[in-house]
Amino acid sequence: MNEKVSDDGARVDPTSSRIEDGIKIRARELGFDLVGITTLGMVESAVRFDAWIAAGYAGDMGYLERGAEKRHDTRLPFEGVCSAVVVAMNYGGTQPSGPVARYARGDDYHELMVDRLNELHRWIEDQVDHQIRGKPYVDTGPILERDLARRAGLGWIGKNTNLLNPTLGSFFFLGELLLDLELRADDPFETDHCGSCTRCLDACPTNAFVAPRTLDATRCISYQTIEQKGPIDETLKQAIGANLYGCDICQEVCPWNVKFSRDATEPSFATREVIAGKDARTLGNEVLAMDDEQFRITFRKSPIKRAKLQGMQRNSAVVLGNLRESASSK
Judge whether residue 23 has pLDDT over 50: yes
Per-residue pLDDT of 214-229, as tens digits, reads 999 999 999 999 999 9
Q: What is the pLDDT of residues 259-292, one digit of tens each?
A: 999 999 999 999 999 999 999 999 999 999 999 9
Q: Are 245 and 154 found together in one domain? A: no
Does the pLDDT value for residue 10 go beyond 90?
no
Whether residue 11 is contained in a domain is answered as yes
Q: Which of 61-80 are b and which e, b meaning 16 or more Cβ less than 10 Å from the residue's Cβ?
A: eeebeeeeebbbebbebeeb
Structural domain contains residue 194: no
Is 36 part of a structural domain of the chain?
yes
- pLDDT of residue 48 exceeding 60, the answer is yes
Considering the chain, what is the average pLDDT of its residues?
A: 94
Residues 131 and 206 in one domain: no
Q: Please list, residue by residue across 92-109, b when 16 or more beta carbons sit within 10 angstroms of its beta carbon and e when fewer do.
A: bbebeebbbbbbbbbbbb
Residue 140: per-residue pLDDT: 86
Q: What is the pLDDT of residue 328?
A: 74
The structural domain count of the chain equals: 2
Instruction: Confirm whether 291 is a catalytic residue.
Output: no
- Does 13 score more than 70 pLDDT? no
Decide if pLDDT at 16 tops 70: no
pLDDT at 303 over 60: yes
Task: Report yes or no on 193 lying in a domain.
Answer: no
C-alpha 308: how far from its chain's center?
A: 20
The mean pLDDT value for 146-164 works out to 98
Q: Which of 179, 212, 227 is the C-terminal boundary of a domain?
A: 179
Closest to 53 in 3D by CA, of 153, 142, 159: 142
34-39 β-sheet, strand order: 34-39, 83-90, 172-179, 134-137
pLDDT at position 5 is 39
In a domain, 122, yes or no: yes
Are 76 and 203 part of one and the same domain?
A: no
| Residue 330's pLDDT band (cuts 50, 70, 90) | low
> Per-residue pLDDT tens for 99-146?
999 999 999 999 999 999 999 999 999 999 999 999 999 998 899 999
The 10s digit of each residue's pLDDT in 67-93 is 999 999 999 999 999 999 999 999 999
In a domain, 314, yes or no: yes
173 and 41 co-located in one domain: yes
> Which pLDDT score, from 0 to 100, does residue 327 have?
80
Among residues 8, 33, 139, 186, the one annotated as catalytic is 139
For the chain, what is the radius of gyration of the CA atoms? Answer: 21
Q: Which domain holds residue 148?
A: 4-179
pLDDT at residue 3, rounded to an integer: 43
Check whether residue 117 and residue 225 sit in a common domain: no
